[in-house]
Amino acid sequence: MKKMKLSIVDLATVIPGETRHDALMNSIEVAKYIEKLGFARIWLAEHHGSSAIAGRAPEVLIAAIAANTTTIRVGSGSVLLNHYSPFKVAEVFCTLNELYPNRIDLGAGRATTGAVLDFALQQDRSKQFQSDSNQQILELVAWLDNGFPKDHPFSQTPIHTIESMPELHLLGSSAWSANAAANLGLRYVFAGFINQKGTQEILQSYRTNFQASSGVSGIKSPLASLAVHVVCADTEEEARKQIAPVKVMYNLLSKGILDVRLPTPDEAVKQLGSLPKLEKYVAGTGIPPKFIAGTSDQVFEQLTQLQKDLFVDEIIVQDMMTDHRARLRSYQLLASVFGLEGS
């Protein structure tokens, strides 16, 4: 039985008939469950202005989940650095790490939340939102590494924290994120569920251009992870049913309908007119399907081939399932087929 390092990114999807409180409680239950199964980490996403997703403040959920677990790593996937002060982000995650030493991941990324919410997230409303991603990540690394030049004003006010530090990862789906992670010697997570066609080229660029870091936030050799949308079920038919809600969501997004609650699997199948078809990964292409779904053997075959073709060190699973029991079963099947410790 082959083994693979598996983790979860959780969006706190609001299930039909349940509340946002229920969604957050489900996230905590998921974390406790996958910890027992042997998953490496759980990350919490940041999505704003969504009725379908309750996960909008990862730093809050990180604290709640870390308090209810003991060994699993907990982090952000990702905190939207372009909207915040790098100093504040560094302090928040150092505080989380002080509470839960050696368990906190700082997954940083950049993403637009739309023109209105981008503006709403700004502190300075005197000018149009325009982030400087290069400056943001450089400053975040400098705060964590205590690496500002001696003549820089910020060098006089280091972050006071414990010996260990939160583990920094740069997340993205573009060439910029890969280049930034490579140039700074950072861990890199590629969002294959966003940009399928660019996966192989961008991951290769990260590895080729990687420069070892001497700072505490960096690493000596490249470390790449792939985030993909995965649903595992006892039968292929059940897996097709469980991906139906997110298929409906993407259909609506393509029509410009942005804020919708996800339906139940049965309702989604009715809206689609039939069970959605499954894409299969074509070995050697390096292009992951938008949704990887099927039985445990089918999913195992595709993920292990992706790992082989893309040379990734870890697979991070995203899903937006609206059947909580089926979601837990998906994780159980994944843990079993990949031989995770605890499963």
| Least confident window among 8-17, 112-121, 164-173 | 112-121
Helix (H) or strand (E) holding 232: strand 224-232
The total of other beta-carbon atoms located within 10 Å of residue 25's CB is 15
Could you tell me the pLDDT band of residue 342, with boundaries at 50, 70 and 90?
confident
Q: Are strands 187-191 and 224-232 parallel, antiparallel or unpaired?
A: parallel
Mean pLDDT value across residues 233-257: 95
How far is 12 from 20, CA to CA, in rounded Å? 8
Mean pLDDT value across residues 88-109: 98
Q: What is the tens place of the pLDDT at every residue in 292-301?
A: 999 999 999 9
φ and ψ at 314, to 5 degrees? -155, 145
How far is 248 from 16, CA to CA, in rounded Å? 14
What residues contact 78, with CB distance under 8 A and at least 6 apart? Answer: 43, 45, 46, 58, 107, 108, 109, 111, 169, 171
Contact 274, 212 (CB under 8 A): no
* DSSP-assigned letter for residue 243: T
Closest CA to 74 of 98, 41, 46, 45: 41
pLDDT of residue 259: 83
* Residue 1 pLDDT greater than 60, yes or no: no
* Residue 2 pLDDT greater than 60, yes or no: no
How far is 291 from 308, CA to CA, in rounded Å? 19
* DSSP-assigned letter for residue 13: B
How far is 294 from 292, CA to CA, in rounded Å? 7
What angle (nearest 5°) sits at the alpha carbon of residue 205, between those of residues 203 and 211?
110
pLDDT of residue 130: 67
- As to burial, measured by CB atoms within 10 angstroms (0-12 exposed, 13-18 middle, 19+ buried), residue 125 is exposed
**Domains of the chain and any CATH numbers:** 6-337 (3.20.20.30)
Listed in sequence order, the DSSP H helices in the chain are: 20-37, 58-67, 86-99, 115-121, 133-145, 175-184, 199-209, 236-242, 244-254, 265-272, 296-310, 324-337
- As to burial, measured by CB atoms within 10 angstroms (0-12 exposed, 13-18 middle, 19+ buried), residue 115 is exposed
Q: What is the tens place of the pLDDT at every residue in 139-163?
A: 999 999 999 999 999 999 999 999 9
pTM of the model: 0.96
Instruction: Show the tokens assigned to 19.
Output: 């509340």
How far is 169 from 180, CA to CA, in rounded Å? 11
Q: What is the tens place of the pLDDT at every residue in 40-84?
A: 999 999 999 999 999 999 999 999 999 999 999 999 999 999 999
Cis bond leading into 274, ω under 30°?
no
What angle (nearest 5°) sits at the alpha carbon of residue 236, between those of residues 335 and 8?
30
